[in-house]
Amino acid sequence: MFPAPLPAYGSPVTHTAPPFSLVIAVDGPAASGKGTIARALARRYGLPHLDTGKLYRATGLAVRLAGQDPQDAAAAAQAAQTLDAALLDDPDLMSSDNAQAASIVSAHPAVRAALLAVQRAFAQQPGGAVLDGRDIGTVIAPAAPAKLFVTASPLVRARRRHAELLKSGDSRDLMTVLADIEARDARDSGRADAPLRQADDAALLDTSDLAIDAAVQRAIALVEQAISPGGQQQV
């Protein structure tokens, strides 16, 4: 269904991976900074990276392109089971409208089941991987040696998303964006199947008051602590 995983993209690798399979699970709500942090960790450790949210975005987009309702569990499951990898490069994939569709389809257990194997296979590849999403540390890779839960206050996240939208020409106001963020948080945390929550052994990283460079450095420190001898007891 999908091509072989590609190496992490972006800046050159600055640190080689440890001599064991290193899986880094990065979870958190929308606009918390988890994707940026996950990509930075992938570069740091020379690991492939998967933004699992894009799988749900692609499923939501497939449903929309078929003229169907993301609330229709059967239609969403069919889309997930027959997902076309080309949709991962569709210009509409990262739009706000499609983000809402992704959040809705991700609440359907059959959709999550269909995409589970893809995500687990990525996590289990030789050498390890970095995955970010909402249930990586709790469902996809519960045995990952390094787990982060990245969060920020709803208002901070809304301001970040609002700034992104303005740059893309979307003029919706901050309070509308905040309402969308809060509604998505409620859907993600309240769904019965694999809800968004911090794994018991995940390190909490609140980025509300951190610039991105500081957040990345803190994330690296937390990973180093987790993979050091006895580190998971200290996190």
DSSP character string of 111-154:
HHHHHHHHHHHHHTSTTEEEEEESSIIIII-TT-SEEEEEE--H
Q: pLDDT, tens digit, for every residue of 110-142?
A: 999 999 989 999 999 999 999 999 999 999 999
Rounded to two decimals, the pTM is 0.85
The predicted structure's pLDDT at residue 10: 34
Task: Kindly indicate the confidence band of residue 65, based on its pLDDT and cuts at 50, 70 and 90.
Answer: very high
What percentage of the chain reaches a pLDDT higher than 70? Answer: 89
Q: Give the residue from 111, 115, 107, 116 showing the smallest Cα distance to 76.
A: 111
3-state secondary structure 161-182: HHHHHHHCCCCCCHHHHHHHHH
Q: Between 38 and 228, whose confidence is greater? A: 38
φ, ψ of residue 184 in degrees (nearest 5): -70, -40
Q: pLDDT, tens digit, for every residue of 158-182?
A: 999 999 989 988 889 999 999 999 9
The predicted structure's pLDDT at residue 12: 36
Question: For the chain, which domains are there?
Answer: 22-227 (3.40.50.300)
